[in-house]
């Protein structure tokens, strides 16, 4: 590949001057030399070696998109992405990074040391972490020395930049809606709520809605699984087996909700007459099934935009305040209720 030195020779200037032109430090170069160099640069299709540049500058323009995968027993750990939510978010994040001249490195993170090494190895400028649970924040993501934005993550301590949606309100509204529709025996399905996280907050919203409507929560109303349709199917079977106990289910994600619906249908449970269902996320596929899934919609494209906006503000040093963004959600009423 053509280097700055060769360009310099052709232009009969020092590589310093070429560097100044490349970096648009025009006050340091005369109009005439500048134009001569720019012409040569264009003719030879010069493009900088970023390894050399980054070695000096200690900036890489790489943002790491990290997806924690520390739950050893998660059966879906190698197909996280089958949930379209992930894909849509990463799509939006990549687009917005690209617009700002950054590069996206994608990585599933299984262990603390690896992440730290990765960041040092590549001089990563910033990190986006998707859906970490509290335990991970205190191990895997601790002591990271570059800006880091957590998406769909609730840290026990404050002091982290986070981008979330109105998980509590969304869940509260969803369950209130079920109650307004005449339902009183309302189950909930989610991934584990033992540790702080999105599932936990949505669970809290569910519990509050019950409480404020003087419905007593029963321990066996809560069904724990993994965030996938398959897991939803298993839960759906359990709910169908106890169908007299329930007249509604609030499921913490659309993908899981669709699995629940499948099992209910298979077991001749009528939706919404016997059991009504509300999901969470607002994925397009909720509209493709029958009956269409009522859900709490979040704007994934806007979320990706916000993630990049906040992260780059830190990376570029324009802000050192903690930012905790909460994006709005919207209850979509469809035929599953």
Binding of residue 78 to a second copy (CB under 8 A): yes
Binding of residue 3 to DNA (CB under 7 A): yes
Structure-token match 């109009």, residue found? 31
What Å distances lie between residue 230 and 109, 151, 194, 204, 260, CA to CA? 23, 24, 21, 24, 9
* Residue 290 binding target from a second copy, DNA, none, CB below 5 to 8 Å by type: a second copy
d(CA 317, CA 64) in angstroms, rounded, equals: 18
H or E element that contains 225:
strand 222-225
d(CA 255, CA 267) in angstroms, rounded, equals: 19
Secondary structure, 3-state, 227-274: CCHHHHHHHHHHHHHCHHHCCEEEECCHHHHHHHHHHHHHCCCCCCCC
d(CA 140, CA 134) in angstroms, rounded, equals: 10
Write down how long the chain is. Answer: 337
Binding of residue 229 to DNA (CB under 7 A): no
Minimum distance from CB of 308 to a second copy (Å)?
14
DSSP code at position 28 = G
Please, which of residues 8-37 interact with DNA by CB under 7 A?
12-17, 19-20, 22-23, 27-34
Q: Which stretch binds a second copy (CB under 8 A): 103-111, 147-155, 215-223, 272-280?
A: 103-111
Please, which of residues 46-65 interact with a second copy by CB under 8 A?
47-52, 54-55, 60, 65
* Residue 5 binding target from DNA, a second copy, none, CB below 5 to 8 Å by type: DNA
The smaller minimum CB distance to a second copy, of residues 90 and 175, is found at 90
Binding of residue 121 to a second copy (CB under 8 A): yes
Per CB under 8 A, the list member of 22, 40, 66, 83 interacting with a second copy is 83
Per CB under 8 A, the list member of 37, 40, 66, 94 interacting with a second copy is 94
Binding of residue 49 to DNA (CB under 7 A): yes
**Longest CA pairwise span in the chain (Å):** 87
In this structure, what token pair is assigned to residue 29?
């170069």
Q: Rounded to an integer, what is the distance from CA 16 to the centroid of its chain?
A: 42
Picking from 236, 254, 247, the residue whose alpha carbon sits closest to that of residue 295 is 254
Q: Which stretch binds a second copy (CB under 8 A): 77-85, 179-187, 311-319, 322-330?
A: 77-85
Q: Rounded to an integer, what is the distance from CA 79 to the centroid of its chain?
A: 16
Q: Which stretch binds a second copy (CB under 8 A): 25-33, 42-50, 208-216, 273-281?
A: 42-50
Binding of residue 230 to a second copy (CB under 8 A): yes
Minimum distance from CB of 166 to a second copy (Å)?
22
* Residue 105 binding target from DNA, a second copy, none, CB below 5 to 8 Å by type: a second copy
d(CA 34, CA 20) in angstroms, rounded, equals: 9
Binding of residue 20 to a second copy (CB under 8 A): no
Per-position b or e across 35-62, b if 16+ CB within 10 A of its CB = ebbbebbeeeebeeeeeeebeeeeebbb
In this structure, what token pair is assigned to residue 235?
């839960």
The smaller minimum CB distance to DNA, of residues 124 and 283, is found at 124
Per CB under 8 A, the list member of 88, 112, 204, 323 interacting with a second copy is 88
* Residue 220 binding target from a second copy, DNA, none, CB below 5 to 8 Å by type: none
Contact assessment for residue 131 and residue 152, using Cβ atoms and an 8 Å cutoff: yes
Provide the angle, in degrees to the nearest 10, between the axes of the packed helices 254-266 and 229-241. 40
The contact set with a second copy (CB under 8 A) reads 1, 45, 47-52, 54-55, 60, 65, 78-84, 86-88, 90-92, 94-95, 98, 103-108, 116-117, 120-123, 229-230, 258-259, 261-262, 265, 284-285, 287-290, 301
The contact set with DNA (CB under 7 A) reads 1, 3-5, 12-17, 19-20, 22-23, 27-34, 48-49, 52-53, 55-57
């Amino acid at each position: 590949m053509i280097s700055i030195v060769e360009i310099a020779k052709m232009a009969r200037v020092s590589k310093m001057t070429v560097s100044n032109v490349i970096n648009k430090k025009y006050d340091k170069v005369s109009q005439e030399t500048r134009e001569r160099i720019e012409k040569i640069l264009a003719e030879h299709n010069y493009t900088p070696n970023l390894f050399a540049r980054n070695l000096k500058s200690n900036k890489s323009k790489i943002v790491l998109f990290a997806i924690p995968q520390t739950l050893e027993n998660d059966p879906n750990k190698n197909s996280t992405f089958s949930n379209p939510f992930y894909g849509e978010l990463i799509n939006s994040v990549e687009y917005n990074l690209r617009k700002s001249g950054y590069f996206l490195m994608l990585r599933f993170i299984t262990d603390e040391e690896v992440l730290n090494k990765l960041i040092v190895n590549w001089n990563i400028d910033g990190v986006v972490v998707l859906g970490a649970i509290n335990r991970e924040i205190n191990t895997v993501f601790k002591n990271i020395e570059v800006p880091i934005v957590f998406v769909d993550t609730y840290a026990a301590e404050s002091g982290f930049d986070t981008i979330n949606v109105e998980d509590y309100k969304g869940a509260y509204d969803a369950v209130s809606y079920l109650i307004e529709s005449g339902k009183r025996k309302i189950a909930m399905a989610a991934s584990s709520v033992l540790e702080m996280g999105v599932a936990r907050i949505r669970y809290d919203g569910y519990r509050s809605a019950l409480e404020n409507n003087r419905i007593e929560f029963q321990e066996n109303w809560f069904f724990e699984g993994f965030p996938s349709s398959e897991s939803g199917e298993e839960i759906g079977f359990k709910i169908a087996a106890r169908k007299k106990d329930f007249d509604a289910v609030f499921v913490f994600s659309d993908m899981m909700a669709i699995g629940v619906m499948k099992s209910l249908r298979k077991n001749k449970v009528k939706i919404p007459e016997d059991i009504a269902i509300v999901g969470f996320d607002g994925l397009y596929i909720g509209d493709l099934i029958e009956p269409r899934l009522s859900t709490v919609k979040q704007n994934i494209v806007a979320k990706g935009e916000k993630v990049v906006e906040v992260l780059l503000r830190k990376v570029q040093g324009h802000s050192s305040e903690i930012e905790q963004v909460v994006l709005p959600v919207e209850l979509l009423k469809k035929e599953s209720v």
